[in-house]
Chain A
Amino acid sequence: MRYALLVQGGPYSRQAAHSALRFGEAAIARGHRLETVFFYHDGVYNAARLAAPPQDEPHLVDRFRALHDNHGTQLKVCIAAGLRRGLLDEREAARHGKQGHSLEAPFELTGLGQLIDAGLSHDRLITFSP
């Protein structure tokens, strides 16, 4: 089946991202295609490129990136929720006159329409909230 996950909890402060990764990896192990992870609400913080967790903790950004690299999962961050919270890729940073950027590929800023589309076009959408 084609799966999409919606992550709405911030990294480390809530279990949502850990739960989503555990579920996503289990779904892939069962032979499903994890096509999309969409980040909304405080979930957008999971895309922060400068995240530097202690070495003995799971590196959430790297784990999401591995889903993309190994399984082709698209990592989509709501642009409206992201910009409000300081998650900007190079293009948005330039557009807003900011030095530096806080989000980079394989995470991508997209509109909420992509979430609705994923919810209706994938076989399953599973939500992990704070």
Chain B
Amino acid sequence: MILHTLNRSPTESRVYRQALAAMGPDDRLLLIEDGVQGALPSLIRHFGELDGRLFALREDLEARGLAGRCAAEVLVVDADGFVTLTEEADKTVSWF
């Protein structure tokens, strides 16, 4: 299982499509930095069927005032949880 990180909003860059195309059926996606905008209910549709595999970094959501606006299906993790995700994954690939 690979952890993919994404630091771009789907409205700003199409790199999220490259990340999704490269993801295996068990891979996970963590939204960080400007990427956390993708966790908004109006944008989450860009990530298709990642039920239970779509994460967003709490600190980056909070810094942007978005923590309470996150779609319910997004799993919010803090920096400690980010580390845990990297422990659980065989490797991590960054999309930017």
| Contact between chain A and chain B defined by CB under 8 Å | yes
**A residues apposed to B, CB below 8 Å:** 1, 3, 8, 15-16, 19, 22-23, 25-27, 29-30, 32, 124-130
Q: Which residues of B contact A124 (CB under 8 A)?
A: 86-87, 91-92
Bound-complex Cα distance A128 to B60 (A): 14
A22:B94 contact, CB within 8 angstroms: no
Among the interface residues B59, B83, B93, which one has the most CB atoms of the partner chain A within 10 A? B83
B94:A19 contact, CB within 8 angstroms: no
- Confirm or deny: B32 has a beta carbon within 8 angstroms of a beta carbon on chain A: yes
Q: Which B-chain residue is minimally distant from A127 (CB atoms)?
A: B94
Bound-complex Cα distance A129 to B83 (A): 17
- Confirm or deny: B37 has a beta carbon within 8 angstroms of a beta carbon on chain A: no
Per-residue interface assignment for chain B, residues 22 to 33, with 1 indicating a CB less than 8 Å from any chain A CB and 0 otherwise = 000000000011
B80:A26 contact, CB within 8 angstroms: yes
Bound-complex Cα distance A19 to B57 (A): 11
Q: Which residues of A contact B87 (CB under 8 A)?
A: 1, 124
Q: Which residues of B contact A22 (CB under 8 A)?
A: 59, 79
Q: A19-B32, A27-B86 are in contact. List 17 more A-B contacts (CB 8 A).
A: A1-B87, A15-B7, A15-B33, A15-B34, A16-B7, A26-B79, A26-B80, A26-B83, A30-B83, A125-B91, A126-B86, A126-B94, A127-B5, A127-B92, A127-B94, A128-B94, A129-B94
